[in-house]
């Protein structure tokens, strides 16, 4: 989808999935009313937190907190990049890509509810340092996730491309999250 956008063919989909094109017609053709529906299903799969949740579950708790958060941030950024590429591919060609058809009574996906499993998977990464934290692990996870959504090369509001000189890498984001932006405490 990312490469061919909404012009993707069933043959290309089958090749990417490693199955025969006939399998698509045999197993899926009766499930979709039009070509837009498989594209929407692809977007919904890209939005699924299953892939980053699997990666977060593999983060070794034997590492220091900064290393755990760096690994988690890398996994989540890879997921956000995939989501962005798929949604961008659809929107560039006029595809809806929202998983909800016009006139449908279904509500658009709730982003806050959709991020809940990710927040719940992040919180245990903070647990070994619970006594050293200023906030409970659940709140720290929420703030960390928010920082990831707006940091490391994400376009600012308005859609302008990020300034490369202001690009923060994953390690920089984790460092700022853990230690703040000040090099020395400021006296009030």
Main-chain dihedrals φ then ψ at residue 106, nearest 5 degrees: -70, 140
pLDDT digits (tens, 9 = 90+) for 155-177: 444 445 555 555 578 898 899 89
For residues 130 and 115, is the Cβ–Cβ distance under 8 A? no
- pTM strictly above 0.85: no
- Quick count: other Cβ atoms within 10 Å of Cβ 24? 17
Tokens of 77: 């950024």
pLDDT digits (tens, 9 = 90+) for 11-58: 887 788 788 878 776 766 666 666 667 667 777 777 788 989 999 999
């Amino acid at each position: 989808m990312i490469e061919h956008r909404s012009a993707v063919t069933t043959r290309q989909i089958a090749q990417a999935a490693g199955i025969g094109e006939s399998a698509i017609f045999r197993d899926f053709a009766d499930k979709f009313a039009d070509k837009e529906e498989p594209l929407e299903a692809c977007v919904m799969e890209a939005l699924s937190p299953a892939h980053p949740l699997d990666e977060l579950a593999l983060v070794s708790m034997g590492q220091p907190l900064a290393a755990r958060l760096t690994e988690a941030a890398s996994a989540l950024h890879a997921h956000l990049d995939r989501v962005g590429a798929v949604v961008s591919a659809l929107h560039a060609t006029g595809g809806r890509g929202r998983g909800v058809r016009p006139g449908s009574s279904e509500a658009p996906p709730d982003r806050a509810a959709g991020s809940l499993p990710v927040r719940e998977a992040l919180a245990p990464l903070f647990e070994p340092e619970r006594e050293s934290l200023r906030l409970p692990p659940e709140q720290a996870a929420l703030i960390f996730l928010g920082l990831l959504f707006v940091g490391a090369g994400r376009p600012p509001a308005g859609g302008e491309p990020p300034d490369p000189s202001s690009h923060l890498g994953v390690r920089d984001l984790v460092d700022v999250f853990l230690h703040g932006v000040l090099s020395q405490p400021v006296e009030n």
